[in-house]
Structure 1
Amino acid sequence: MNGDPDEELVRRIGAGDPAAVQSLVARTLPRILALAARMLGDATEAEDVAQETFMRIWRNASRWQRGNALFDTWVHRVALNLCYDRLRRRREWVTDDLPDIVDPASLPDAPPLVEEHRVAWALQNIAPRQREAIVLVYYQEMSNIEAAVTMRISVDALESLLSRGRRSLQSILTRDGIDE
């Protein structure tokens, strides 16, 4: 890798420069929030993940060294790991009581959900690794190579996840009347 565009900024953060942190947060926060919101389907949890991501950057910036991946890739990996931690905790929470959830689309007087919300709902209902690949490539606008590095898989494996993820989304959306 030739040079990391964030290398000087990370060095300043590691030295305790609050202006450098502010600069990184201003530039990176919207992408990290979007990534976490799409992975978790919950804006409040996304904010918590973003906050923890930046806390980890602050604590670990002085030890970061340029390697095979860009700093931005490392930041995305940290955020993804935090998302997966939260998703695992959700699965571990067991109760005998089912939540009372009403599908707003099933109410007679409710306006239909806009397609964007339906797609977001469908995204939450595909396999997590497929969701991760789709979010990184289509929403975070990473190249296949960058997304593969972030996910720590080969480009071929990423492309397979993308293909399966698109098919899963199409199946869910077609089944629910979006893609008619």
Structure 2
Amino acid sequence: MVKPRAYNETSDGELLYWSAQGDRRAFDEIVMRHGSFALSVASRLTLNIRDAEDVAQDAMVKLWHQASRFDPERARLRTWLYQIVVNLSIDRRRRREAVSLPDNFDAVDPGALADEILAKAERDAAVAAALRALPPRQQAAMMLVYEKGVSGAEAGRILGLSAKAIERLLARARTTLREWLLAEHDK
């Protein structure tokens, strides 16, 4: 008797292997495990939630189509998915550089004074604008290292760069942000 597959107890690598053979239930399990992660990464790199949802969905479709190319000896599934999401986000930003406020601004504290609210909103807007003004690769490196806590070497693998190149990207991004924010402050 053939034992049924226990999808929720199976490794990502095996699920992707089954997905490559056309097993939709195996891929559904991958989406359940990693879909919110893809959306989280995409929401940090795109300009609005609709774009983030599109990128996350496109990443999952790409993962499905390229499942046979996954090599668990070279990288974890999450690392590979991260790379796909980052690359799709960068591509989307290059195609459409819309200017909008991020959907994830902090809610206003009703007890705060109006001056504090205004100052915080201005600071948040200045930082968000400065981050959006960075070139896509610098923005991706900043998000990966500072927001997601990924090491420089891991960020390099995700972006297809060396750890040294990531350090240089981060240094340029910090310098650009500092100069941009100081210029905005002096206005």
TM-score of the pair, normalised by structure 2: 0.70
Distance in 1 (alpha carbons) for counterparts of 2:160 and 2:75? 10
User: Which of these residues, 123, 148, 152, is aligned with residue 144 of structure 1?
Assistant: 152
Root-mean-square deviation (Å): 3.0
Which residue matches 2:179? 171
Distance in 1 (alpha carbons) for counterparts of 2:23 and 2:147? 31
- State the shift of 1:160 in Å: 1.1
- State the shift of 1:127 in Å: 1.9
Which residue matches 1:105? none
User: Which of these residues, 93, 107, 119, is aligned with residue 87 of structure 1?
Assistant: 93
Q: Deviation string for 1:104-134 (max 9, x for gaps)?
A: xxxxx9x632655543332111122211111
User: Which of these residues, 36, 40, 50, is aligned with residue 44 of structure 1?
Assistant: 50
After TM superposition, the structure 1 = structure 2 runs for residues 9-88 of structure 1, keeping only pairs within 5 Å, are 9-88=15-94
**Which 5+ residue runs of structure 2 have no aligned equivalent?**
1-10, 101-113
Q: Which moved more, 1:166-175 or 1:148-157?
A: 166-175
Q: Which moved more, 1:51-60 or 1:9-18?
A: 9-18
Distance in 2 (alpha carbons) for counterparts of 1:127 and 1:59? 29
Q: Considering only CA atoms, is the larger Rg found in Structure 1 or Structure 2? A: 2
**Which 5+ residue runs of structure 1 have no aligned equivalent?**
94-98, 102-108
Q: State the secondary structure of the residue aligned to 1:68.
A: coil
Give the total of aligned pairs: 160
Work out which structure has the larger RCO, using CA pairs closer than 8 Å and 6 or more positions apart in sequence: 1
Conservation of the 8 A alpha-carbon contact between 2:87 and 2:159: no
Task: Tell me the amino acid that sits aligned with residue 44 of structure 2.
Answer: R
- State the shift of 1:158 in Å: 0.6
Pair 1:129 & 2:137 matched: yes
Distance in 1 (alpha carbons) for counterparts of 2:165 and 2:69? 30
Distance in 2 (alpha carbons) for counterparts of 1:37 and 1:65? 27
Conservation of the 8 A alpha-carbon contact between 1:49 and 1:79: yes
- State the shift of 1:67 in Å: 4.9
Structure-2 change in CA distance of 1:25 and 1:36 (3 Å): same
Which residue matches 1:96? none
Task: Tell me the amino acid that sits aligned with residue 31 of structure 1.
Answer: F
Distance in 2 (alpha carbons) for counterparts of 1:73 and 1:118? 31
Q: Which runs of 4+ in 1 moved over 6 A?
A: none
Conservation of the 8 A alpha-carbon contact between 1:38 and 1:123: no
- State the shift of 1:141 in Å: 2.3
